[in-house]
Amino acid sequence: MNIFGIDLKIDNNNYSYFSGWFISKHNINQKQIDSLTNFLKDNNQNLNIKSFDSEGEDLEDYCDEFEYIDLGKIGDGAIICIDLNYLEEYDSTVELSDVFLVNNEKEVIIIDQTGVILSV
């Protein structure tokens, strides 16, 4: 598994509106980025990429063992980490919504390679 950093900004502002990391066994494509952007934006916000690490890094560089969810459930898709600190040191008392992007039902979202949002 690899981890790919992404920062989004509103319009042409210089600050990050959202910072997170895709976790996937494949490179992240534009459909997945667009899907994330659409999931996050409110009403008429215009979210743009501020920065994106398309090379990615090995997930094992951040954590020895990934214990939050079964990574096999991601399949060919990607999940979004919102706090790397929790990846580095597993804490069973932490809510998944503090570590990953979740839907309204507090289920971790998966963005498949076609941009469709699923949940785990």
Q: Read off the pLDDT of residues 46-92 as tens digits, 9 standing for 90 and up.
A: 899 999 999 999 998 888 778 888 888 999 999 999 998 888 888 88
- Is the pLDDT confidence value at 43 over 80? no
Going by the DSSP 8-state scheme, the letter that residue 20 receives in this structure is: E
CA distance linking residue 46 with residue 56, whole number of Å: 25
The residues, ordered by sequence, that sit 6+ positions from 76 with a Cβ below 8 Å of its Cβ are 24, 25, 26, 112, 113
Burial class (CB in 10 A: 0-12, 13-18, 19+), 105: exposed
The domain spans of the chain are: 2-119
Query: pLDDT (tens digit, 9 = 90+) per residue, 10-21?
Result: 988 888 899 999
| Predicted confidence (pLDDT) per residue in 91-116, tens digit | 889 999 999 999 999 999 999 999 99
Please state the pTM of the whole predicted model.
0.91
